[in-house]
Every structure is written in C-alpha cells, then in structure tokens.
A = this chain, B = another copy of it.
Amino acid sequence: MSEVYAARRTRLRDRYGASHGAAALVCGHANVRYLAGGAPPGAVLLLAPDQDVLLCPPAPAQESPAGRTDDALRLVEAGESGDPAVAAARLLHTGGAGTAAQSLAVEEDHLTVSRHRALGAAAPGLALTDLAGAVEQLRVVKDEEEVSRLRIAAEIADQALGELLESILVGRTERHLALELERRLVDHGADGRAFPTSVATGPHSGRRIHRPTDRRVEEGDFLTVGLGAQYRGYRCSVARTFVIGTSPADWQIELYELVFAAQRAGREALLPGVGCRDVDRTVRQRLVAAGHGEGLDACTGHGVGLEIMEEPQLAPASMGKLDACVPVTVGPGVHLPGRGGVRIDDTLVVRPEADGGPELLTITTKELLAL
C-alpha cells in the first residue's frame, strides 16, 4: 500500500507546484489519512520540498500513533502540548525538513484563525498560501482498493439491516433499535458506524436526519432506518422505509411508489459525463410534480469515502460532471409533517455503460415490506 500513498502525494505535489520551493501542510483529518495511511487524530502531514513528514500530537500512555501509516513517511511527535501544525511550520523554518521552502500552502478550510496565526509566527518569512480543496478533489475518484472497502462497508450495513428486519419491532423504541443496529455493525466487522444511526417511526419517518427518541414502533407506522458502516476508514450509507403491520394504507403505498420511482430514476442517471445537477433534477422534478416541492432536501445525494459527505454534491447548483469510479449516494425522501414519510437511500459507484452502468453497493431490497 505504501506506493499508493506515495503516488497520491506525488499527484498533490504536481497540483500545487512543489518544484518551485513550495511546501504544503495538510490538516484535514480525512485528507491526512488519504495521503499517509493510518494517522492518529490531530496528526498533520507536511510535504516539504524534499521529504514528507507526518507530525503527531503527543500521545503518552496511548496506542501507538503510527497505526498503518505509510512506512515511507518520516514520523515526528510534536512536543509537550504542542500543535503539530505549528511544529511543522517550525520544522520548515529551522531547516529540519530539508531544503528551505519559500511558501507554504495550508488548508484554510481546516485551520482556525488562531492556529493559522500561530503557524505564521512559527515560520516568519514564509509566505502562507491556500491549498484550498486540492486534496478533497484528489479524493473524488476512488481506486479499486477504496471501492472494495466501500463494498465491504455496504455489505456490513446490509447484514445489520437484514437481521433487524427478522426481529420483532412493534413496541421497541427508536433509541433501542438504533443501538442494536450499531452493535450489529460492529459484530459484522465494522470499525464503527459511518454516522449516527437514524431510526424514525410514525410521524418521524421520512426525515433525512432524525435523532432516535423514546417513541415506540406502532402498528401502521412507517419506519425509516438510515445507517452506515465504516470499514477501514470508508463510509457508506443506506436507508429503507418499511410499514409496520400487515397492509399499508393507500397513502403509504402511493408515497412509497413515488419516492421509489424518483430514487430509481436517480440511480439510473448515474453515468460518467452526466452533470451532478442533472441527476438531482431527475429525482427532484418527480417529487415536485407530485406536489412535494416544499421542504425537500438541499441535495439528493453526495459522494462518500473517508467522510460520509464528500464531493460531488447532487444538488441544483452543482457545476461538475460525474466521473467513473465515483461512489455516491442517491437518497431522496418526502416527509409530511405530522404523518411521516418515506426515504430510500443507496450507495452506488458510477461506472460506464460498457461496464454495466452504476454498481449498486447496498443491496437490501427496496420492495415495500410490511413487517
């Protein structure tokens, strides 16, 4: 794997022009992991003109900070109660990281004003520039190892969800169902949950994010479950809506079929070269035409990877186009205040039509099950 990380760092160097005496400091945690392999929370990566240094916060009596870090990296532990970003600037300033750099590109999206100032003070004379979203852009298209981790994460989420469906649900609280799902994710080999599990019953159902309450599952409820596993750093997302009891009401069937059709249209639109906002429009126009334009989510789906929400966004104002090997979610929903609603979410990988089109990672059935 070491070559993978080194190759990623080389691609980043190409982007910001490392050849002209420029260094870069990566602080966003997912960005550091992407470029360095495993890295403890708070670690930062310095790409100096002729060496790469991973600076870790002091970690007394803790786990080894290195984890699965790329062996090709030099490891430095920041001194007592020190900020690794400031330690990186100091290292550059004192020549401790090889050839002097004239400028340092930092991630202004991931550095607070206070840290940025401390960093500037530690390396006077160094021009601080903005690396902007360069690493996030590199992360958009995944390699097959990354897709394979996402595939396993999706399998784990499917297993946890499948087991839940086999158990008795009526009378149990949202909070308990959510905790049980999270336990099952770990049982099946997840590092943990990809995001807080959402279990929404009755009037709560259909919401995009719902913090589980003590409400119990009742006969006749819609039940929306949204969860995801994290596997070796990679996070997926799946949501399904079920009916509790034997026969769904007419309004439930109608709403379900609408959201299902919109979600399917979105999934089928996922091809290389298609505009992100066109996928969003495909989904959104069906919901709007059925009179559910009010209160729709700002986006229909988004990239996933080391973070549960990454580029690209499937939203009305998104400018980019989809590429092959980009994993995205498609997860529209409709929530009718006081009544509840439906949400259906999948994680897929964009693939060319020649390869069979979009690859569905979360394969739990999307039939309207009555549980």
The answer on a CB contact under 8 Å between A186 and B175 is yes
The answer on a CB contact under 8 Å between B179 and A297 is no
Task: Confirm or deny: A363 has a beta carbon within 8 angstroms of a beta carbon on chain B.
Answer: no
Which chain A residues numbered 111 to 125 have a C-beta less than 8 Å away from chain B? 111-114, 116-117
The answer on a CB contact under 8 Å between B175 and A179 is no
The answer on a CB contact under 8 Å between A61 and B297 is yes
Which of the 9-residue segments A46-54, A159-167, A205-213 touches chain B? A205-213
Complex CA distance for A117 and B111, rounded to whole angstroms: 12
A298 closest partner in B (C-beta): B81
The answer on a CB contact under 8 Å between B61 and A335 is yes
Task: Confirm or deny: A171 has a beta carbon within 8 angstroms of a beta carbon on chain B.
Answer: no
Choose from B114, B176, B207 the contact partner of A62 (Cβ within 8 Å): B207
Complex CA distance for A112 and B298, rounded to whole angstroms: 23
Which secondary structure dominates chain A's binding surface?
loop
Task: Please name all residues of chain B whose beta carbon is closer than 8 Å to the beta carbon of A175 when the two chains form the complex.
Answer: 186
Task: Confirm or deny: A68 has a beta carbon within 8 angstroms of a beta carbon on chain B.
Answer: no
What is the 8 Å Cβ interface bit string for chain A, positions 307-334, against chain B (1 contact, 0 not)? 0000000010100000000000000011
The answer on a CB contact under 8 Å between A210 and B63 is yes
A109 closest partner in B (C-beta): B114
The answer on a CB contact under 8 Å between B298 and A206 is no
Task: Tell whether A211 pairs with B63 under 8 Å between CB atoms, given A81-B298, A175-B186.
Answer: yes
Choose from B61, B106, B295, B341 the contact partner of A206 (Cβ within 8 Å): B61
A→B interface (CB under 8 Å): 58, 60-63, 80-81, 106, 108-114, 116-117, 130, 175-176, 179, 182-183, 186, 206-211, 295-298, 315, 317, 333-335, 341
Give the 8 A-B CB pairs with smallest separation, nearest first. Answer: A108-B113, A61-B335, A108-B114, A109-B114, A113-B116, A179-B183, A60-B295, A62-B209
